[in-house]
A and B are shown apart, each in its own frame.
Chain A
Amino acid sequence: MFTELKKFVMADGVSGDEAGISAVLAAEIAPYVDEVKTDAMGNLIAFKKGTGKNPKKVMFAAHMDEIGFMVTFIDDKGFIRLSKMGGINYGAAAFSEVVFKSGLRGVIVPDANTAPNDFGPNKVYVDIGARTKKEAEKKVKIGDTCRLTPSLAKLMNGRVYGRPIDDRIGCVMLFEAARTAKHFENDVYFVFTVQEEVGVRGAKTAAFGIMPDYAVAVDIGGSGDVPNCAPFAVVLGNGIAIKIKDGMVICHKTMVDTMKKIAEETKTPYQLEILERGGTDTCMLQQTGAGCIAGALSVPTRYGHSGVEIVDMGDVAGGVKILAGLCEAELA
C-alpha cells in the first residue's frame, strides 16, 4: 500500500484543480472495475457491478483534493499573492517550499514585520525568484494553484508521515478495497470526490447523481494520544475508527452497526469516533436527495493539515477489510 500511497501523494490536486490526481487514480483503479467516469463537478466515479441477488447501491467516497493555494495577484516586482484553498494553517505553511503544477518552485513568506499570529491571507506571499511582474507572468497566471511540496516517508512501527496524506490515504483504501474484495454482492461506486477541503462540495453532486442506498466516507480523523491534547478516545494504532458523529453529522445507526459487525467477523480491531468539530463528506452523503444510510471510516491521524501528517498503516489495512466486507455483504 505504501507504493500506491506514494504515487497518490506525489500527484497534484489542489481543491478545484484535481485533474492530475484524477488521472492517476483513474489509471490505477480501472483494471478492477467495470467503468470509470468523471461527473460535471470533476468527481471521479469508478463503478463495479454486483452479482448478488439483491444488490444495493453502495457508495464509497474519499476526497482526492488537497489543501493548497490559488494565485490572486502579482505585484510589480513579481511577488505573488495567494488565496488559500481549504483550512491551511498559515503558521505551518510560512517559510516552506511550494510547488506549482508546472514544477515551478517558490517559497512562501510572511510580510515583513508580521507577527506569527497575524499570518493570513494577504499577509503572506510567494517568492519565485522573479525580478519583475512580466517575468513572473511568464510562469504563473492568476488562478493557478500551488501546494506545499509533497513528501512521504516511513517511521517506526509501520507508521508513515508526509503530506498530503489527507485524504490520499482514503483513496488508497478505496483502491485496495476494489482490488481485494473477493466478490461484489453489491453495485459499488468508488468515488474520488473533489473540493472537500473547501466545504464538502463535490460529494453533494456525486451522491445526487448516484442516489446510493448506503454510503461511506473515508477520511482522516484525529488521534487523542499526543502530549497535552484534549481528551479524545481514538488513538493511532488501535484500529480504524468507525464514525458515530462529527460536527456536521450523526451517522446512521444501521451503517455503524453493519461496519462493527464486519469488523468483528473479520477480527479487525476498530475504535468508535466522536468528533465534536469539523466534518467530512459524510454529511453531504446523508442529506442529498431523499437521504441515504450514511457513515464513515476515519483513519486515526496525528498533525492533520500540516506538512507532517502521521498515520499507522495497520489502521489503514483494517479499514480496507471493512470496505471490502461491504462490497461482499448482503445488505438489507
Chain B
Amino acid sequence: MEIKKLLTELCGLMSVVGFEYHDEEKLTALVAPYFDEHEYDTVGNHIFIKRCGKENAKRLFIDVHYDEVGLMVKGITDGGHLRVCMLGGLDARILPASEVIVYGKETLHGIVLMKPTVLMDGKEKEKLTAVPELLVDVGLTKAEAEELTPIGTPIGFEPAYTELRGGYIAGKGMDDKCCAIPVMAAVAVLDMKELDCDIYFSMSAREEVGHRAVSSAVFRIRPDAAIVLDVGFGLAPEGKKPDDADMKGGPIVTLSALLDKDFTDMVIETAKKAEIPCQPIVDAATTGTHADEIVYAAGGTPTVLLGVPLWFMHTANETVALDDLKYTAKLLVAVIREKFGRKDG
C-alpha cells in the first residue's frame, strides 16, 4: 500500500459536510477494494464491511468521519459575489484572500474578497472580517451566479498537497479522512479467518455540524464494540501539554470517563506489549468526537477513542506525520487481534 498516494487521493475528495455523496464513486474506488461490501446509507454514512465468515460473528464498528469543514453559498450580491456561511467550525482567520473551489453547476475557482488595509482605519485593521460579511468572487455577474452557483452551493478548499521535511504531509481534508489510512492498512494486513468479528468501517457523515449521522449507523448495525479515530491537536508553539500530543509520538489514546475503561486499558497494554508508541491523553468528561454519540446510541456500545496528532486544524493545510499513521495502523492490528482473535487456535 502506498500510503502517501492514498492519503492525498482520499483527503483530496470533495466531502464538505452535507455533501458526502459528491465524490461517492471515487471514494468507493479507493476504499472498497479493501473490503467485501459497501453501503451508502440514508443520512450519508459510507459503510465498508469486511467479514470473517463466521455466523453470528461479533460486530466491530470503526468510525472515521468522512465529512470536512467548508462553506456554502447563502446569497448573491448585486455585484455577483457570493455571500457564504460556514459549514462546521472552519478557522475563519485563514479565509481572507483564500483560494477556494465552488462546486456549482460548474466547478469554479473562487477567491475570498477582503478590504485592503490601506483603505481601513486603525481600529478596523485590528479586527477579523466576520464570516457573514465575507464575499467570494467567482468572476460572474449576478444572473450568471444565480444560474451556476445558486443558494446552497458548497465551497471547499483546493486539493493541493505538500510534503514537508521529515515525512509530514500538508493539505486540506486531513480531518478526519487521514484516519481512514490506518484502518485500510490494518484491514489489508489482518487475516479475517483468524478473527471472530465482522468489521464495519463507517466513513461517517455530518460530524462537523454536531455529530448528526453516526448514531443512525449504530442504530442499524448494533455493534458489540467500537473504535473511533479522530484527529487530535499536535503540539505546536503556544500549544500546551498535557492537552496536546507530540507529532510522531504515535496515536493518542483518550482517557475519559465517557469511554470503556477496560477496553481503553487493554489498548494501552497492547501498545506497550507490542512496543508501539502511543500517547494517553485525558479528556475527562466528554471528547468532542463521534465517541460521545456512539457510547450512548441504540442501547450503548463499549468504545475507545484513538487519535492522530495533527497541526493546523480546520485550515487548508492540515498536517499529519506519516509515522503517526503507520503507528496507528500497527496499533489497530494489535488491538483487533487481541480483542477479537479466535481463541480456539
A293 within 8 A of B: yes
Q: How far is the CA of A289 from the CA of B217 in the complex (A)?
A: 9
- List the count of A-B residue pairs having beta carbons below 8 Å apart: 70
Instruction: Tell me if A291 and B216 are in contact (CB < 8 A).
Output: yes
- Once bound together, how far apart are the Cα atoms of A147 and B4, in whole Å? 62
List the B side residues contacting A233 at CB < 8 Å.
Answer: 74-75, 83, 151
The answer to whether B42 and A249 touch across the interface, beta carbons within 8 angstroms, is: no
Chain A positions within 8 Å of B86 at CB level: 276
- Kindly state whether residue B57 has any CB partner on chain A within 8 Å: no
Residue of A nearest to B220 (CB): A290
Partner of B42, one of A231, A244, A293: A293
Give the number of residues in A that approach B within 8 Å (Cβ atoms): 23
Mask: chain A, 242-257; 1 = CB below 8 Å from B; 0 = not: 0011001110110010
Q: Enumerate A129-154 residues with CB–CB distance to B below 8 Å.
A: none
With A231-B75, A250-B18 already in contact, the answer to whether A287 and B43 are too (CB < 8 A) is yes
Across-interface contacts of A274 in B (CB, < 8 A): 72, 74-75, 85, 151-152
B87 interfacial contact with A, CB 8 Å: yes
User: CB distance A291 to B42 under 8 Å?
Assistant: yes
Residue A27 interfacial (CB < 8 Å): no
| Chain A, Cβ-Cβ closest to B215 | A287
Contact present for A286 and B72 (CB under 8 Å)? no
B212 touches A244 (CB 8 A): no
**Does A272 sit at the interface, judged by CB under 8 A?**
yes
Q: Which A residue's beta carbon lies closest to that of B73?
A: A274
What residue in chain A is nearest B210 (Cβ atoms)? A248
Closest to A248 in B: B210
CB closest residue in chain B, given A273? B151
* A267–B72 alpha-carbon span in the complex (Å): 27
Report whether A250 and B17 are in contact in the complex, using a CB–CB cutoff of 8 Å: yes
Q: Does A283 contact B (CB under 8 A)?
A: yes
For the complex, what is the distance from the CA of A291 to the CA of B202, rounded to whole Å? 15
Contact with A along B94-123 (1 / 0, CB 8 A): 000000000000000000000000000000
**Inter-chain contact B209/A289, CB cutoff 8 Å:** no
Whether, in the assembled complex, A230 has its beta carbon less than 8 Å from a beta carbon of chain B, the answer is yes
Q: List 21 A-B contacts (CB under 8 A).
A: A231-B132, A232-B75, A245-B18, A245-B85, A249-B209, A250-B87, A250-B206, A250-B209, A252-B43, A272-B152, A274-B75, A274-B85, A274-B151, A276-B85, A276-B86, A290-B220, A291-B213, A291-B216, A291-B219, A292-B42, A293-B42
Query: Measuring CB to CB, which residues of chain B are less than 8 angstroms from any residue of chain A?
Result: 17-18, 21, 41-43, 72, 74-75, 83, 85-87, 132, 150-152, 206, 209-210, 212-213, 215-217, 219-220
Which residues in A have some Cβ–Cβ distance to B below 8 Å? 230-233, 244-245, 248-250, 252-253, 256, 272, 274, 276, 283, 286-287, 289-293
